A and B are shown apart, each in its own frame.
Chain A
Amino acid sequence: MTVTVLGPQRRPTVQPVPPGTVAATVTAGWREREADDAELDGLLGGSTVNLRLHTRWLTVLDADPELADAELNHRAVLEELQDLYALQVGNAEQAAVAIRRSSTRPRTRAAALADSEEALRLLDARHLARVTEVRADFEAAWRPGERDAVAQQRAQVAAVLEDTSLLVVTGGHVGVLLHVLGLFAVTPPADVVAWSAGAMALTDRVVLFTDGRAEAYAPGLGVVNDTVLLPHARRRLPMDDPARLGALARRFAPARCVVLDDGVRGLDRGRVVGADGRVA
C-alpha cells in the first residue's frame, strides 16, 4: 500500500488520478456537506465514487433506533472521558508551565519538569487505553457489523471498494471520520491519498491540538505509524514558543510530530518538531 499525505487543501495540490485508476472518496469529515464534492471530483479527474459514509451513518441511525440509542450513549461516555482527560491534561500543562517559570535551582526544576512530562505521558496512555476498552465493550455488546442496517451498508461499501485502487480521504471532523471508517469497515485499497483530518485518521494515534494545547484522542487506523500529524499547525500551535513545542515533541516521542503545512506533498516533506522545539 502506498500512502500519500498532503497538507491542507486550501490551495489544492491534490492531483488527478492516473487514467484507468478507479478512485473512491471519503468526505464524511465534512458531515452534512458530504455531498458537496463536485470540486473535489473535478480535481481528481471527474470519475470518482463518493462512499457517502456520513449519509450511510445517518441512514443506519434512522433504520435501527436501538443501535442509535446505544450509540448516543456510547458517544456520551466517550465525550465525558475526553472532557475529564482534557481537564487533567490542562492542569498538568499549567503545572509544567509554572515549573518552567519557577525560580528554583535548575537541577530541581529539570527534575520536576521531567516528572510533569512523564505525568502527561501517563495521562495520554491511560486515556487511550480507556477509550480502546470502552469501544471494545461497545463492539462486544452491540456487534454493529452484524446488525442488518450496518451489514447492508458495509456490503455496499465493500462492493465499491472491490473495484477501487485508490482511496481519497479529505479533512473535516476527525472523530466522525474515524467513526464511520470503523463502522463501515473501510479497508484501504492499494493506494491512499489523505489530508488534514483524513491523514490524521490514518495514524496509529490521533492527537487533537488547538489553542496551543494537545490531547490524545483515540487510536487511528494505523496505516501511518509512529507519527503525529499536525495540519494547520500555525493556526493552532505556538510555533514561536520552542519550549512548548519541544514539550509536545517529547510528550509523544518516539512518534515524530510532523507539521503539515499548506502545499506539503508526502510525509517526508513535512517539517518535524524536534525535542528542543525547533521545527525543521
Chain B
Amino acid sequence: MTGSTRRLAINRLKERGPLDGDTVERFLARQQVPIVEGLRCTFLFRGEADEVWVTHRVLGLPDRLPLRRLRGTDLWSVVMELPERSRVEYQLELRRGEHYERINDPLNPHRSHSPVGGSSVVFGTGYEGPEWAEHDPETRPGELLELTVPSRALHRDARVTLYLPARFRRTASYPLLVVHDGPDYLQYAAAKTVLDNLVHRNEVAELVGAFLHPGDRLVEYADSTAHARFVTDELLPYLERRFPLNAQPAGRCLLGASFGAVAALSTAYRHPDTYGSLLLQSGSFVFTDIGSDHGGGPAFDPVVRFTNRYRARPRAVADKVFVSCGVYEPLIVPNRSMVPVFTDTGMRVRYVESRDGHSWENWRDRLRDGLSYVFPGPRKYVYE
C-alpha cells in the first residue's frame, strides 16, 4: 500500500473503538507531531479546552483551522493538505471559557524564530533544511567587525556589522553586499554561516557584507530619502575609503527582505547607476491598481505610493535582480506582479518561489540561489 492511499494514522486510531488515556498516550509516543503522511498533515492537541484552532498565515487556507475532539478523549485533531517540500509556521489557539490563548504546539519540538517571537513549524514531505546553512568544520570562518558610521542623513550614528571573508587581503578587491535588517539576517537567517560556507565552496564570490542596523525600520525602509542618501552618499564612501572594495556598480548589491526589500529597491531607484544588483526577498511591494485601499495600514502608505510610482514608470535600476517569495505569503501576488515589471525594463531577473511563508528561514533557504546569482563564485574556474 502506498503512502498516498494508506489510511491516516488518526483515522486508524479512531477506528479502534473506545479509546482510553493509555491508548492515546501510546499513539502519541509513536508519532512525530504534526503527523505528516504524504500530502496530508494531522495537527494534534491533547488537553482540556472548549475550542482549539491551528492558526497560521498560509494564503488560501482559512486563518484558523478548528480541531475536533476525539470522542471520549482529550485528544483534538485536524487534517490539512501539506504539499511536498512545504514549510509552514503555526500556533495553536485555545479557548477556555472566555479566555483565549495562543501557544506553540507542545507536541512539536520544532520551532522557528523571528524578531516577533517563535512559532511552531511543520515540514512537508521532501523538505530539507539546507546543509550549507549549518556550521561546517571544514569551512574557514570570516570575521565580523562592529562599525559606527556617522550619518547626517539619518541624524544618528548608524551601526553597521561588517563581514570580512576568510583570508581577507588588502591587496584583493571585494564586491560589497549591503544587507538591510542586518542583525536579523545574522541571527535568524544564519547569514554569516551561509556566507562562510558558500564562499568556501566556491559558490559565491569572496565578498564584504555590510549588515545595517535600522533605526525605525518602518520609517527608514519605507522609501525614505534619508535612508537612500545614507547608504549611497555616506556608507559607500565610508567603506570604500577604508576597505579594498570593487567600487563599481557591478560590485555593489543591495539585499533586503519584506520592508528591507522596499528599501533596497527604493535606494537603487533614487540612485541610478550606483548598484549592479538587487536581492529582493518577499518584498512588501504592495500596490493599488485603482483607489487607495491597499489594506496594509498606515505604515504601508509610503510603500504603496512608491510601488505605484515605480509600476507607472518602471526603469532599470540595476543590471541584475533576484526576486524570491513564498507562495504561502500574502505578498506572493505583489511579488509575482513585479517580475514582469522588472523584466520589461531590460534588467536581468531571476525569480524563485518556494512553498514557504513570510519567514526568516524562507529567506535563509533562498540565499544560495540569490547570492550565487548576484555574486557568483569561481566554481566554473575550479577543477580539482
B381: which of A75, A80, A83, A208 is its contact (CB, 8 Å)? A208
Residue among B173, B248, B250, B383 facing the most chain A CB atoms (10 A cut-off): B383
Shortest Cβ distance from A64 into B: residue? B171
Alpha-carbon distance A229/B236, docked complex (angstroms): 43
Question: Is B152 located at the chain interface by the 8 A CB criterion?
Answer: no
Alpha-carbon distance A80/B173, docked complex (angstroms): 14
Question: Is B193 located at the chain interface by the 8 A CB criterion?
Answer: no
Minimum Cβ distance to chain B for residue A67 (Å): 10
Shortest Cβ distance from B202 into A: residue? A173
Q: In the complex the two chains form, is A174's CB within 8 Å of B246's CB?
A: no
Question: Is A32 located at the chain interface by the 8 A CB criterion?
Answer: yes
Question: Is B309 located at the chain interface by the 8 A CB criterion?
Answer: no
Report if A172-B382 is in contact (Cβ < 8 Å); known contacts: A58-B169, A61-B171.
Answer: yes
Minimum Cβ distance to chain A for residue B198 (Å): 16
Q: In the complex the two chains form, is A196's CB within 8 Å of B384's CB?
A: yes
Alpha-carbon distance A26/B157, docked complex (angstroms): 49
Question: Is A215 located at the chain interface by the 8 A CB criterion?
Answer: yes
- Chain B residues with CB under 8 Å of A196's CB are 383-384
Q: In the complex the two chains form, is B378's CB within 8 Å of A175's CB?
A: yes
Report if A171-B378 is in contact (Cβ < 8 Å); known contacts: A62-B171, A76-B173.
Answer: no
Report if A72-B384 is in contact (Cβ < 8 Å); known contacts: A32-B167, A173-B378.
Answer: no
- Chain B residues with CB under 8 Å of A29's CB are 382
Question: Is B71 located at the chain interface by the 8 A CB criterion?
Answer: no
Alpha-carbon distance A209/B383, docked complex (angstroms): 10
Alpha-carbon distance A202/B171, docked complex (angstroms): 28
Alpha-carbon distance A105/B246, docked complex (angstroms): 50
Report if A76-B248 is in contact (Cβ < 8 Å); known contacts: A32-B167, A62-B171, A68-B171.
Answer: yes
Question: Is A272 located at the chain interface by the 8 A CB criterion?
Answer: no
Shortest Cβ distance from B173 into A: residue? A72
Alpha-carbon distance A29/B378, docked complex (angstroms): 12
- Chain B residues with CB under 8 Å of A220's CB are none
Number of A interface residues in the complex (CB < 8 A): 31
Q: In the complex the two chains form, is A174's CB within 8 Å of B248's CB?
A: no
- Chain A residues with CB under 8 Å of B382's CB are 29, 171-174, 197
Alpha-carbon distance A75/B380, docked complex (angstroms): 16
| Interface size class of chain B, counting residues whose CB lies under 8 Å from the partner chain | 10 to 19
Q: In the complex the two chains form, is A174's CB within 8 Å of B381's CB?
A: yes
B171: which of A58, A172, A176 is its contact (CB, 8 Å)? A58
Minimum Cβ distance to chain B for residue A143 (Å): 20
Alpha-carbon distance A83/B384, docked complex (angstroms): 23
- Chain B residues with CB under 8 Å of A231's CB are 383
Minimum Cβ distance to chain A for residue B263 (Å): 27
Shortest Cβ distance from A217 into B: residue? B381
Hey, what's the 0/1 contact readout for A191-228 against B, CB within 8 Å counting as 1? 00000110010000000111100010100000000000
Shortest Cβ distance from A170 into B: residue? B384
Q: In the complex the two chains form, is A171's CB within 8 Å of B173's CB?
A: no
Alpha-carbon distance A208/B380, docked complex (angstroms): 6
Question: Is B379 located at the chain interface by the 8 A CB criterion?
Answer: yes
Alpha-carbon distance A211/B382, docked complex (angstroms): 13
Minimum Cβ distance to chain B for residue A174 (Å): 5
A175: which of B171, B381, B384 is its contact (CB, 8 Å)? B381
- Chain A residues with CB under 8 Å of B250's CB are 80, 83
Alpha-carbon distance A122/B332, docked complex (angstroms): 42
Shortest Cβ distance from B246 into A: residue? A76
Question: Is A232 located at the chain interface by the 8 A CB criterion?
Answer: yes
Q: In the complex the two chains form, is A197's CB within 8 Å of B173's CB?
A: no
Minimum Cβ distance to chain B for residue A227 (Å): 15
Question: Is A270 located at the chain interface by the 8 A CB criterion?
Answer: no
Question: Is A277 located at the chain interface by the 8 A CB criterion?
Answer: no
- Chain B residues with CB under 8 Å of A174's CB are 381-383
- Chain B residues with CB under 8 Å of A10's CB are 384
- Chain A residues with CB under 8 Å of B169's CB are 58
Within 8 A of B (CB), among A60-94: 61-62, 65, 68, 72, 75-76, 80, 83
Alpha-carbon distance A197/B248, docked complex (angstroms): 30
Hey, what's the 0/1 contact readout for B356-384 against A, CB within 8 Å counting as 1? 00000000000000000000001111111
Question: Is A274 located at the chain interface by the 8 A CB criterion?
Answer: no
Question: Is A188 located at the chain interface by the 8 A CB criterion?
Answer: no
Alpha-carbon distance A76/B380, docked complex (angstroms): 17
Hey, what's the 0/1 contact readout for B102-146 against A, CB within 8 Å counting as 1? 000000000000000000000000000000000000000000000
Minimum Cβ distance to chain A for residue B202 (Å): 9
Q: In the complex the two chains form, is B383's CB within 8 Å of A215's CB?
A: no
Minimum Cβ distance to chain A for residue B66 (Å): 48
Alpha-carbon distance A83/B250, docked complex (angstroms): 11
Residue among B169, B171, B250, B384 facing the most chain A CB atoms (10 A cut-off): B384
Alpha-carbon distance A196/B378, docked complex (angstroms): 15
Minimum Cβ distance to chain A for residue B137 (Å): 16
Per CB-CB distance, the 9 closest pairs between chain A and chain B, nearest first, are A196-B383, A197-B383, A210-B380, A61-B171, A171-B384, A208-B380, A175-B381, A68-B171, A72-B173
Interface set of B (CB-CB < 8 Å, partner A): 167, 169, 171-173, 246, 248, 250, 378-384
Q: Please list 26 pairs of residues, one from A and one from B, whose beta carbons are closer than 8 Å in the complex, sorted by A's number.
A: A29-B382, A32-B167, A58-B171, A62-B171, A65-B171, A68-B171, A75-B173, A76-B173, A76-B246, A80-B250, A171-B383, A172-B382, A172-B383, A172-B384, A173-B381, A174-B381, A174-B382, A175-B381, A176-B381, A196-B383, A196-B384, A197-B384, A208-B380, A208-B381, A209-B380, A231-B383
Interface set of A (CB-CB < 8 Å, partner B): 8, 10, 29, 32, 58, 61-62, 65, 68, 72, 75-76, 80, 83, 171-176, 196-197, 200, 208-211, 215, 217, 231-232
19 additional A-B residue pairs with CB within 8 Å, beyond A75-B173, A210-B379: A8-B383, A8-B384, A62-B171, A65-B171, A68-B171, A76-B248, A83-B250, A172-B383, A173-B381, A174-B381, A174-B383, A175-B378, A175-B381, A196-B384, A200-B383, A209-B380, A215-B380, A217-B381, A232-B384
